[in-house]
Amino acid sequence: MTLSRLLGAAALLAATAPVARAITVDGKLDPGYTLLSVQTTQTSPGPDATSGASDFAAGSELDAAYGAVDQGVLYLFFAGNLRDAICGGEACTDADILELFFDSQPGGQNQLTASSPAPDRLAGITFDTAFVPDEFIEFLLGGALDLSFVRFANFGTLPTGGGGTLVSLGSGSNTGAPGTLSGGTNPFGIQATIDNSNTAGVTAGCAAGTSSGVTTGVEIAVPLAAIGAPTGCIKLSAFALRFQFREVSNQVLGPLPPGTCSFGDRAGANFADIPGDQFFTICLDRTAARRSTWGQLKSIYR
């Protein structure tokens, strides 16, 4: 069986049965996660992240996506790094944003137009035909000259026919409570944080990349009520976008074919024209189920 089919089997077996251990939203991979998607392409526009600092990284990479559902909360872990910037008296404008889209209910917007809630960053992006997102989360990290880093998150809706809303979920310091966001509009208590210390995974370039061995990155907890309380399967698409130039990275999950560089301006990002699915799926099983590890899945579907 191919790797893509193995990953599909892993996603279908992800369930709402209690995970082996409670998941803490701290930017570190927990045992309760199931592997959903793996990166196969080096990172462009780069550079590679090599500092090893828990906050700062010079480049972005999405090495893998993991998911788990427990007690009505969808936990997502993106192994890798997110590029951030150290700024002086002005606001940071050169950081990368993790853009995470949810296709969780009927309707939504397949192409993000000027009527979408964040037109300056997202207008022109088109998803695969089978992916029509309803909500999205943006996550980024910024720092000041005193090396104090703050994480920020936004939440947007994408109703059919255009329009929608975009609100700040708040911000937080990585030295505070893991995942907690404050100072925004966050009625469902979405959590998000990052551990940026990864130095493994894919390197800079556009060729095939090896993404194994990464256990730190961006971690997000989304109560299912925040995305329409779905009971079936949820499709997700994630990519890194460079804020200053509105440039869509080639770090997309599901992955782009090896040999694909960054899209440049976001208006040129049309996933429907690219082979494969630039999204992945996690299915919610409301009945009790035996939790399977990735090793067990490989044994079952070998």
Convert the pLDDT of each residue in 79-137 to its tens digit. 999 998 766 544 455 789 999 999 999 999 999 877 777 667 788 899 999 999 999 99
Give the helix ranges, DSSP H, for 214-280.
none
Cβ-Cβ contacts under 8 Å for 3 (sequence gap 6 or more): 38
Q: Mean of the pLDDT values across residues 41-54? A: 89
246 conformational bin, left if phi > 0, alpha if psi -120 to 50, beta if neither = left
pLDDT at 270: 93
Which residues form the domain of 151?
Answer: 3-300
pLDDT at 117: 72
Q: What is the mean pLDDT of the chain?
A: 82
Considering only CA atoms, which of 216, 73, 82 is closest in space to residue 153? 82
Considering only CA atoms, which of 157, 152, 120, 115 is closest in space to residue 136? 157
Say if residue 167's pLDDT is above 60. Answer: yes
**Three-class secondary structure of residue 208 per DSSP:** strand
pLDDT at 143: 61
3-state DSSP helix/strand/coil percent for the chain, to nearest 5? 10, 35, 55
Predicted TM-score (pTM) of the model is 0.86
CA 177, 223, 248 angle in degrees (round to 5)? Answer: 85
Say if residue 145's pLDDT is above 80. Answer: no
**Three-class secondary structure of residue 15 per DSSP:** coil
Q: Going by DSSP bridges, is the β-strand pair 135-144/85-87 parallel, antiparallel, or unpaired?
A: parallel
In sequence order, the β-bridge partners of residue 69 are 74
Total domain count, the chain:
1
Instruction: Compute the distance between CA of residue 67 and CA of residue 69 in angstroms, rounded to an integer.
Output: 7
Considering only CA atoms, which of 11, 5, 1 is closest in space to residue 292? 11
Considering only CA atoms, which of 31, 4, 255, 277 is closest in space to residue 131? 277
Question: Is there a contact between 105 and 135 (Cβ–Cβ < 8 Å)?
Answer: no
| Confidence bin at 161 (pLDDT 50/70/90) | confident
Say if residue 59's pLDDT is above 80. Answer: yes
Lowest mean pLDDT among 7-11, 188-192, 245-249, 254-258: 7-11
pLDDT at 101: 97
pLDDT at 19: 44
**Which residue has 């939203």 as its token pair?**
25
Q: Mean of the pLDDT values across residues 211-220? A: 95
